[in-house]
Structure 1
Amino acid sequence: MGNPVLYYMRCVTAVAILMLCAVYGTIASIVCNIIGKQHLSQWTTARCYYYAMKFGMGIDVKVIGEEKLDNKPFIAVSNHQSALDILMLARMFPKGCTVTAKKSLKYVPLLGWFMAASGTFFLDRSSRQKSVDTLNRGLRQVKEKKRALWIFPEGTRSYATDLSILPFKKGAFHLAQQGDIPIVPIVVSNTSTLMNPKNKVFNRGVMTVKVLDPVSTDGLTKEDIGAFSEKIRESMVETLQEIGYSKPVNETNLPQDYIDYVTKKRVAEESEDSKSKGASTGVSA
């Protein structure tokens, strides 16, 4: 029925790892700024966090199609589920890439200091114009320096326990259209089997991430953005249903949606096996 004590112990350990990596990141960012390599700040800190979580928490990330992140500039869009999205970024964050974040994170001790020093674009959600100005500044940097910008178009963590993705906000797609640069869709397997606060889940296991083909914005107009973003979302939902859930080593708990999914899949496979055996028997007769 779950192990809440282990869940909270793992939560405390994960926060400690994050804070230690934030300290490292703040120092690394200062050094990178001094030597004129600020664009490497988030990349080096990401790698530090990935290995700390992999060996300290037993959670790994398998990436399919990572080579598609080699050709910059681009705007990456991915589904946004939980705090484990940070680990996903840590594993595959390209050099010269940066992220957007809500402005309130800027004032979080250690983590906010690192994000500010490493060139994160903070969005003021109370002012649309300020957010637009920040994103336009990010777009100029992406184009001029051939870098990448990573955006979560759902706008907030979904904490989904099923294979779904929230509706997309259009900001990332407007930026890509204005800059005439491609969108790279990235799909992360459902991570509620590894971390989910509602169900007290914090397990070891493996996340699967699939990088889809870049989508060109050549010839795209503002009027096309709605249909364009929805088409990309549909392809991401289809991919999510294909890769399914992150593979857990259950030590704390599992969400009911995952249990139902596994049961349904097993029944379907048994039914298929039964039909196959029946057909084989019929041929033999």
Structure 2
Amino acid sequence: MGNVVLYYARVVLAIIVLMVSALYGTIASIVCTLIGKQHLSQYTTARFYYYAMKYVMGIDVKVIGEEKLRNKPFIVVSNHQSTLDILMLGRMFPPGCTITAKTSLKYIPFLGWFMALSGTYFLNRSNRQQSVDTLNDGLRNIKEKKRALWIFPEGTRSYSTDLVMLPFKKGAFHLAQQGKIPIVPVVVSNTSTLMNSKYKVFNRGVITVKVLDSISTDNLKKEDITKFSEDLREKMFEELKEIGYSKAINETNIPPESVTYEKQKEIQHLASTSKNTAVSSATDLTGSTDA
């Protein structure tokens, strides 16, 4: 019972942190726009939210390969899991980067206002042509001003407690192919050990993020986009299985799938250690016999 109470208390606190950050973002966006720096609005707000969540909620983000996000322009593609993706963006977001979002988010008080003022590309999923026009405007902006765009190609959050990755939509890859813009894959550890409504999970801990090598699209043809996206998804999925789950301090609950995963990893590690020990012993024995 106490764990459930703690879960809901943290949910409320997290919502407050998000709303305060969105209010800060609204003000920051107005100021940045007035001084001609609108492209920095999302970066400064993202950082504010990250530090607020880190020190108030006790959730941090560990990044592997962050230096690969320095050379703009590029399009980032990453897996999409839960509302903790906002925290991950808060730590990862490079200056001059923006995101795409569904149009309905525009009308959420504070959060929607900030997103609209900071240059978010809103996509109307019921109007394909409008979405295409919006993305084309984004593409021109990325190329001309050497900016970056962050896209979640799964299209929706998985909310999965398993290590899964939904099929990729092709929009990000068509954009990259048309503009000859590199793609930077980013893989995020499964965050269900930190937050999950099904099992009433809201723990402190660390999200692990791995930035993979940039992929050139200079020679990518339109007819090869489907295979390209499927191959990239498979590559990112393999990385996800290696990274596994976010490290958590269990104060509320833990999804059973993550417990099974950790046990399997421990068994594999013990088996590997035993094998290496046996090989080492055999080598030492052979060496002694030869001597």
Q: TM class by shorter-chain length? A: over 0.9
Partner of 1:78: 78
| TM-score of the aligned structures, taking structure 1 as reference length | 0.96
Matches within 5 A, 1:29-68: 29-68=29-68
- The aligned residue for residue 166 of structure 1 is 166
The structure with the larger Rg is 2
TM-score (normalizing by structure 2) = 0.94
Does 2:236 align with 1:236?
Answer: yes
Q: CA deviation at 1:269?
A: 2.7
Q: Which runs of 5+ in 2 are unaligned?
A: none
Q: Deviations over 1:110-164 (max 9, x none)?
A: 1000000000000001111111111111111001100000000000000121222
Q: Residues 154-190 of structure 1, C-alpha deviation per residue, up to 9 Å, x if partnerless?
A: 0000012122210000000000000011110000011
Task: Supply the distance in 1 between the matched residues of 2:59 and 2:179 (Cα, whole angstroms).
Answer: 36
| Displacement of 1:268 | 2.6
Counterpart amino acid of 1:109? Answer: P
Cα distance in 2 for residues equivalent to 1:82 and 1:135: 24
Query: What SS does the corresponding residue of 2:262 show, helix, strand or coil?
Result: helix
Matched, 1:4 2:39: no
Query: Considering only aligned residues, what root-mean-square deviation do their CA atoms show, in Å?
Result: 1.6
Matching residue of 1:127: 127
Look up the SS of the partner of 2:228 in the other structure.
Answer: helix
Amino acid across the alignment from 1:114: F
Judged with a 3 Å threshold, the aligned counterparts in structure 2 of structure 1 residues 220 and 273 are, in CA distance, closer, same or farther, namely closer
**Structure 1 residues 278, 145: closer, same or farther in 2, change over 3 A?**
closer
- Separation in structure 1 between the aligned mates of residue 219 and residue 12 of structure 2, nearest angstrom: 49
Q: How does 1:185-264 map to 2 (within 5 A)?
A: 185-264=185-264
Q: Deviations over 1:179-233 (max 9, x none)?
A: 0111100000111111111111110000010111110001211101001111111
Aligned partner of 2:92 in structure 1 is: 92
Who is 2:136 aligned against?
136
CA displacement, residues 79-133 of structure 1 (integer Å, 9 cap, x when unaligned): 0000000000000100000000000000000100000000000000111111111
Counterpart Cα distance in 1 of 2:229 and 2:2: 39
Deviates more, 1:192-201 or 1:111-120: 192-201
Q: Distance in 1 between matches of 2:228 and 2:60?
A: 32
Equivalent in the alignment of 2:22: 22
Structure 1 distance, partners of 2:28, 2:109, is: 16
Equivalent-residue separation in structure 1 for 2:239 and 2:279 (angstroms): 32
SS in 2 for 1:257: helix
Q: CA deviation at 1:271?
A: 3.4
* CA 1:281–1:73: 2 relative to 1, 3 Å: closer
Question: In 2, are the aligned partners of 1:2 and 1:253 still within 8 Å (CA)?
Answer: no
How many residue pairs end up in the alignment?
Answer: 285
Amino acid at match of 2:53: M
Structure 1: stretches of 5+ with no match in the other structure: none
Deviation at 1:267, TM superposition (A): 2.4
CA distance in 2, matches of 1:100, 1:9: 30
Whether the 8 Å CA contact 1:76–1:185 is kept in 2: the answer is yes
Query: C-alpha separation between the residues in 2 aligned to 1:161 and 1:36?
Result: 43
- SS of equivalent to 1:219: coil
- In the TM superposition, what is the alpha-carbon distance from 1:2 to its structure 2 partner? 8.0
Matching residue's letter, 1:150: W
Q: Alpha-carbon deviations, 1:63-90, whole Å to 9, x = none?
A: 1111111101010000000000000000
1:2 and 1:251 in contact (8 A); partners too = no
Provide the residue aligned with 1:146 in structure 2: 146
CA distance in 1, matches of 2:2, 2:191: 17
* CA distance 1:35–1:250, change in 2 (3 Å): same
One-letter amino acid matched to 1:259: V
- Match in the other structure for 2:268: 268
1:111-126 to 2 correspondences below 5 Å: 111-126=111-126
